[in-house]
Structure formats: C-alpha cells, structure tokens
Amino acid sequence: MYMSKESVTLESIDEMWKEIETFGIKREIFKLSNPSYQQIRDLYLLIKKGKEST
C-alpha cells in the first residue's frame, strides 16, 4: 500500500502529538478545545510543512 507524504494513519496519533508538543503546543491545553482527529492531523501537517521549508 502506497502512502503519500500527507497521509497519516490513526495509529500515528501519538507521533502527531509528539510533533505538535515539540512545536510548543501543550496537549492538555489543545485538548480543552475538543479537537477532532482531522484538526489534530491538520495542525500536525502544518507544523511538519513549516519545519521542512526552513
């Protein structure tokens, strides 16, 4: 199965949180807004993309 660079599976949600937290966003604070999986994934991808462009 081919996965694009933009693809993220449910199993990697912990990895997404780790990346988000290294950016300085606390998981406990962000969870207060009750984010959906899609919102977490979108934030993760934005952070990844930003790091790649620098």
Please state the pTM of the whole predicted model.
Answer: 0.71
Listed by start position, the domains of the chain span: 12-53
Which of 23, 27, 1, 25 is closest to 13 using CA atoms?
27
Q: What percent of the chain is helix, strand and coil (3-state, nearest 5)? A: 65, 0, 35
pLDDT of the chain, 54 residues: tens digit per residue:
444 555 556 558 888 999 999 999 999 998 899 999 899 999 999 999 988 887
